[in-house]
Chains A and B, each alone.
Chain A
């Protein structure tokens, strides 16, 4: 597979050994030949990408190109790009064309990145297998019978299969890191608030983060530097200055304190993954790191907490998809006819019963108005199973009488989990763990078992609950199925430089450097 990193290609472009139009053409051919099997790319912007390439090539030659000149990147369909469908993997938005550019898109193109196309995903970023998509499932490039992970499955598979140098994904509970682990690429979830969410179609607003999936840590650092930083269009975006991550990576610091959380190495973790993770930790120690056992006692509540809070936010965020102003709208004529038929049926049934007229009146008053029925029908047709499941769950936990028991309690646990990390980061620079308990599973094997599916995010989800940053670094393939898996590093919020430093140390160990 084409595993060329942006940093290497950029060096060749600057040296004049290659030209950008040639590179872009090669990626287009690659997509045309392998995507039909993998189904990661939903929209190929071949013509526009070539035009961009021509333009940027001239800039490269005149020495005026931006720092991302040469980068060929794919974008998860959850991010708005003006003039292109932002389907979010949903029938609801199948015909919806974005009316503005997300901040990250603006920043990428300003720095001369070439956007080659848009990438498949689980519907509204809900899922861990990329099987919940209106465009069909994405296949794992390492084995087409396996899932690539989700929800940024298209983003992970596209990079892993060499259809682009890098991609942007989004991570709400592990949606960048888990597919990165399953597909064998680097996947970064930045600290909450570091990258503007403007133009990201929200799943769970207090969790959603946008980050890059790449072939190596250096590429991730370079892309993050470009997309990070304050945006006045996102009130939750941080005003902290953005460090020069690539520059800082030039001087690696091996003498770091690495936390090993006991809760991440317990039951359910594959033995080989466990041993290899600990072996890499030991290598780091050999190179000067200090390994410190730590505990994150509230970790066991992370999944339950997440599925209450994230679905609550989702139930509200997805309310706007009502088929009124845009998006899928059910056939209003059919809605009217159906209502009329129901009315007639009702009258037929009750007419000859004692007190029937009264009953008919009561039942009729209880029936939906055409407007309400149109909402219901549009949403019934527009959303897939998993999305409906989460909307219902979220609506339930916010309902009068249940709020305190679910949402309120989950909020308190979220704080405890955040405090756990705060404590840990007072003693260590980074925390090291596996990214997932296993390697990628077979397509279709967990479709009917949502709880099993949710457990895929067991190691990744608490980073989203606490807003810290986290990265998946691929560490090799499992001897049993020859599928890749990864190691996860977590660092305190807005300490991405520590994260990159540790990630690169791990990468060096894995590469035998």
Chain B
């Protein structure tokens, strides 16, 4: 290998999605984030003797749903397996997972990046498992603390083929998974809280080489940015090692987002022998034709189809449609505006500009936006009727955030209704023309650009409420009286 060797990056992701489920994977207990430590627990989550896991039906239905949406084959019969290891946050001494027979397998997801265009990424498998508890090592100087609230939380693990070729592709794939689980309603996609996280298997090989290089596994990446940064860092590290004549050691590494570098967690020699075997406490999971069809019907319109529909039926631009469909709640909000009678284009504009700006400034989610669809549709319609100006629209929207009133009432209160009837405008026009004889003369001599001056004067007089186009029309008509 020489300094000039060109490398190809090979990445596979294992994404963990915590299910949006009221109860744990194998026990009827709540599964809320943010509860006091060790309160969402039962004898089962604590690993008390004699307790038995009973699978949550949602876990199975959500797995099938995600599998169908990602073009996977669905195993009609799959089994749970035990993954055995000792750790204090794993109270049973084993994790219930799936090993030889995942419930979904051989699917794919299409992604797109600027550098490599559209690509199809294989999904090896999606399997069901339970989460471990949380070990906290940095809050007590002498002890590690354990919170078992998360123990037994239902998870889906989505394993990709090693088809990703760059950190950007890995990021794009992760975003697609995020989008998909949110559309399907199987996971809230909240990466900060750890509802969605991933491990990345990374290796490099000289371009043209068939065999994969030795891979390392980066654990627990919990933001799109960290996925991309950690992989980019690891790829560079591997290049340096290879170019300096070293070899890559198969190992598990951690990404430190503060130091912006990776560090070793354990090497292959220390790798666990998990001694997987079929979970004897849970019978095989059977997915019937009937269940498959039922779940298929529950799958909502997915982002790609939806984007296409927005462009074709509403003549939205590709960018607008993309922005609206990227995250399901935005497109839900858009559709709610349409239902309330707003036209698609102005509705899309309002969401993609003003509403996004307000959310950025004020924080919060689109689903919790303080102005409901009905009032916003009213605002859009007011603007569509030309009853308010576009800047008035912004002002009214701001006012609506702290008010229960509808757009028309606020426009009235704030004196933002545009004046466009000739009866009220004509006296103002006549007055301005009379007061500016010089300009009238120059206009009539051909300086037609002065029209802006007249309109401006009238707008000022009307305190901005005059309808500019209407004013312009009246000025053009009335000025002829001086010819």
**Contact B273–A400 (Cβ < 8 Å):** yes
Q: A205-B281, A316-B82 are in contact. Are A199 and B54 (CB under 8 A)?
A: no
**Contact A201–B49 (Cβ < 8 Å):** yes
Q: Closest A-chain residue to B80, C-beta based?
A: A235
Question: Chain A interface: which of B84-92, B199-207, B299-307?
Answer: B84-92
In the assembled complex, A206 has its CB within 8 A of some CB on chain B: yes
**Contact B55–A235 (Cβ < 8 Å):** yes
Q: A320-B47, A325-B46 are in contact. Are A234 and B93 (CB under 8 A)?
A: no
Please, how many angstroms separate the alpha-carbon atoms of A234 and B30 in the complex? 19
Q: Which of A319, A395, A400, A403 has the most CB of B within 10 A?
A: A319
**Contact A236–B282 (Cβ < 8 Å):** yes
**Contact B50–A232 (Cβ < 8 Å):** no
**Contact A234–B277 (Cβ < 8 Å):** no
- CB within 8 Å of B: which of A314-330? 315-316, 318-322, 324-326
Q: Closest B-chain residue to A375, C-beta based?
A: B86
Contact code string A395-426 (vs B, CB < 8 Å = 1, else 0): 10011100100010000000000000000000
Please, how many angstroms separate the alpha-carbon atoms of A235 and B53 in the complex? 7
**Contact B49–A86 (Cβ < 8 Å):** yes
**Contact B93–A322 (Cβ < 8 Å):** yes
**Contact A235–B273 (Cβ < 8 Å):** no
Q: A316-B277, A319-B92, A398-B277 are in contact. Are A197 and B43 (CB under 8 A)?
A: no
**Contact A319–B54 (Cβ < 8 Å):** no
In the assembled complex, B443 has its CB within 8 A of some CB on chain A: no
- CB within 8 Å of A: which of B260-308? 273, 275-277, 280-283
Report chain B residues within 8 Å CB of A100.
43, 48, 50
Q: Closest B-chain residue to A401, C-beta based?
A: B273
Please, how many angstroms separate the alpha-carbon atoms of A93 and B49 in the complex? 10
Closest CB of chain A to B142's CB: distance in Å? Answer: 11
Contact code string B48-61 (vs A, CB < 8 Å = 1, else 0): 11111111000000
In the assembled complex, A468 has its CB within 8 A of some CB on chain B: no
Please, how many angstroms separate the alpha-carbon atoms of A205 and B275 in the complex? 16
Q: Closest A-chain residue to B86, C-beta based?
A: A375
In the assembled complex, A40 has its CB within 8 A of some CB on chain B: no
Please, how many angstroms separate the alpha-carbon atoms of A205 and B46 in the complex? 18
Please, how many angstroms separate the alpha-carbon atoms of A232 and B55 in the complex? 10
Q: Which of B43, B48, B91, B273 has the most CB of A within 10 A?
A: B48
**Contact B52–A88 (Cβ < 8 Å):** no
**Contact A326–B48 (Cβ < 8 Å):** yes
Contact code string A198-232 (vs B, CB < 8 Å = 1, else 0): 11111011100000000000000000000000001
Q: Which of B47, B51, B280, B281 has the most CB of A within 10 A?
A: B280
Q: Which of B43, B93, B273 has the most CB of A within 10 A?
A: B93
**Contact A320–B50 (Cβ < 8 Å):** no
**Contact A98–B47 (Cβ < 8 Å):** no
Report chain B residues within 8 Å CB of A86.
49-50
- CB within 8 Å of B: which of A79-105? 79-80, 86, 88, 93, 96, 98-100, 102
In the assembled complex, B94 has its CB within 8 A of some CB on chain A: yes
**Contact B93–A319 (Cβ < 8 Å):** yes
Report chain B residues within 8 Å CB of A206.
280
In the assembled complex, A487 has its CB within 8 A of some CB on chain B: no
**Contact A371–B282 (Cβ < 8 Å):** no
Find B281's partner among A88, A236, A372 (CB 8 Å cutoff).
A236
Please, how many angstroms separate the alpha-carbon atoms of A407 and B278 in the complex? 10
**Contact A99–B43 (Cβ < 8 Å):** yes
Please, how many angstroms separate the alpha-carbon atoms of A205 and B86 in the complex? 20
**Contact A80–B280 (Cβ < 8 Å):** no
Q: Closest B-chain residue to A371, C-beta based?
A: B88
Report chain B residues within 8 Å CB of A98.
50
**Contact A202–B47 (Cβ < 8 Å):** no
Please, how many angstroms separate the alpha-carbon atoms of A205 and B281 in the complex? 6
Q: Which A residues contact B (CB, under 8 angstroms)? A: 79-80, 86, 88, 93, 96, 98-100, 102, 197-202, 204-206, 232-236, 312-313, 315-316, 318-322, 324-326, 371-372, 375, 395, 398-400, 403, 407
* Seed contacts A235-B283, A316-B277, A319-B92; 16 additional CB < 8 Å A-B pairs: A198-B52, A200-B50, A201-B49, A205-B280, A205-B281, A234-B54, A235-B54, A235-B55, A236-B280, A316-B82, A316-B94, A321-B49, A398-B276, A399-B275, A400-B275, A403-B277
Q: Which B residues contact A (CB, under 8 angstroms)? A: 43, 46-55, 82, 84, 86, 88, 91-94, 144, 273, 275-277, 280-283
Q: Which 9 A-B pairs have the closest CB atoms?
A: A319-B93, A206-B280, A398-B275, A205-B280, A201-B49, A320-B47, A199-B50, A80-B50, A235-B54
